Structure 1
Amino acid sequence: MGRGRKRGVNPGIPSHIEQAALPRGLYWGENRWFLVEPHPDTGRPRKRTVAYGNAVLSELHAIVEASRSSEPIGTLGYVCRKFRESTEYRELSQGTRDDYDHHANIACEYKLRDGALLSAMPVDRMSVPGIQRLIEAIAKGREASPGQTEIVGRPSTANHVLRFLRRLFNWGIRMGYCSKNPAQGVRQAKEKADAKMPERQPFVLVLAFAKERAALPLHSKGSCPPYMPAVMILAYNARLRGMEVTELTDAHALKRGVLCNRLKGSRDNVTRWNEDMRWAWRWLREYRAKRQEAHKRPVPLRPDLRPLLVTQTGTPLARSTLKTAWQRLITAAIEAGTITKAERFALHGLKHRGITDTRGGRAVKQDAAGHVSPQMTDLYDHEVMEVDPPTAAEDEESAFSDALETW
């Protein structure tokens, strides 16, 4: 369902196929195109040949679309696909759709004990205990088996999956695609209270480390994406999530500041320019111009169609790409001794740091963050307020003094 990781270039694919336009879920190997599907009897994944090297791109798209339409009615994969085709889905913001696609993919690709994918199971056969085990498995992760990569448990990811499934099944009931909501009544995973907000010193050290590594030639040993220092500055100063940074376009640059379109129900606002933000915005625009010119990319006339963040090939930077780049940067900083493992922080922690460092009372910080409720600001503001002791009347003060002297 989700976009997943960007498909790498496969030199074995026939040259007449544009690899970037290949449909998701289609694979090339042993001079054939194949899909990975559950076996109709055992449910275990198997490769099914659907075409050979002489197939054209349009035929491949038609094949994949036909295979999706043949999904058994009522399965999780079928309900997810129908939801994506609905008007309710299309009315959502692009960021919310991407978020739903990502977490739908996590749920659909979860392997059951018999090796079958959860996407092939009918929703009406699912139960609260089964969904609870799914959430627990995502939250805890699993240790690496021989030849496999370790899956790190993420309680926040598990809860995102749970919230998506609740909405999906409620929609499926209304539309007649399922008769119950097995995610209703499932307990959320307990998330750590630590928001992985960096202390000021580790933040400054990682920013300097990112600038140093960004200056290295692309793809050289130890290098990091050139845009990373600018991303850190914008995320901190404008108090933005990583996904909100990737959504920035030329239309968000106003004379008075950066228009921040906030997700997750927060209010949009404008963060006034400072020197750091001006530098970051100017650098990203210059970098974009160089990369688009180098790869002969057309430049849209409308400002809202010109994304601020681009890859080295001049294409819009995906949220998943930014996440991967950040994990590599923070891991490299730990390996280089710039920060310790205990000082590791998340990209989202820069929003916490920015809100905490905002000068003013709680109401000022709430407006700066675009939060709808003070309770949400309480989760992001980690500043310990300094307050004055109580002031008593003069006669009471003298009585207190006498009592202390006597004591």
Structure 2
Amino acid sequence: NITIHGLTILAPIDSPNTDGINPDSCSQTRIEDCFIVSGDDCIAVKSGWDQYGIKVGIPTEHLVIRRLTCISPDSATIALGSEMSGGIRDVRAEDITALSTQSSVRIKTAQGRGGYVKDIFVRRMTLKTMKYVFWMTGSYGSHPDPGFDPKALPLIQNINYKQVEAENVTYSARLEGIPNDPFKGICISNLSGAIFFILGLFFLRAAECRTPANWGTVKYSALSCRKHSALLTDFGAVGDGKTSNTKAFKAAIHHLSQSASDGGAQLIVPPGKWLTGSFNLTSHFTLFLHKDAVILATQDESEWPLVSVLPSYGRGRDAPGGRFSSLIFGTNLTDVVITGNNGTIDGQGASWWKKFKAGQLNETRPYMIEIMYSNQIQISNLTLVNSPSWFVHPIYS
């Protein structure tokens, strides 16, 4: 349903809340072959916050993470929670490398969360220079508002870590439970030959797509190839890094959306620096970045529309108010590919980080890519840098 692979994600290690990839209330997601340097968790698995997440009740389930490399000195390689009130189950991770990272896999929860984290299987981790190999926290106590139910206790059950190699580690484990709510079935072992299965449904059946362009042939693997194609410059875009191209992106996608029922369409972003605000994707659509293309997020807040808070969170994460739309946003979509020949998307997040640290924001910072209520999504072969907040956030998909 959701395939994320071949991403390089880079943020300063002191940048606030710049999580790499956050699958949130999603099913059948595969994350592979990604390299992440982050100011927060490299991957954070979520499913809603306290009473709001319990009410929505959409778990994250059937998640596979493979061949991940993470550097995050103050956070986790893979975090489960803390917003896990809709439940997290059947997470399978293998061949994980973490360097100079606070912890490998961290479970974060608290009284009031409800929900569950269960059936977690992790194997073949290589860890170098870490504070904690394993960390479970039952007192990660932030709440959206006073309306949470302190009697809503999370279920933590059937957690399995196997075949772990670690060096230069301060603590092997830090395990902090919840009184009268024991975590159950925790298995940590270094058993050679331990086996668990990754289901075949997670293997991508990709087509090889080819489209002529004025600099050569555009080639990439994708869920679907497109019958129609256009260049961003066909819609008046200027790649000088200074001219706003928000209208050009919107016009191009609107035009190409008319081909959704006729083989779909792709928008090619050619070499250049393409400044833009937030724009929305459409179904049966590919956004392709040339290797020398850079999408630059504008610093002009007027080009970042406000959108509703997420129903499973009940408020913005940075502030009680609304939230800015993500740079690349989509909702209720089918068959969407965001890919390239390792082209770059630069969120230019420094100004947002400064405002957040100074307490100057009344709304939640934009994410780089957010896809909601959608299916058949592929995000691949890109370099993502300096997101204002989270980088990749599929939710309710």
Bin for the TM-score computed over the shorter chain: under 0.3
> Who wins on radius of gyration, i.e. which is larger?
1
Which is richer in helix? 1
TM-score by length of 1: 0.25
TM-score by length of 2: 0.25
Which is richer in strand? 2
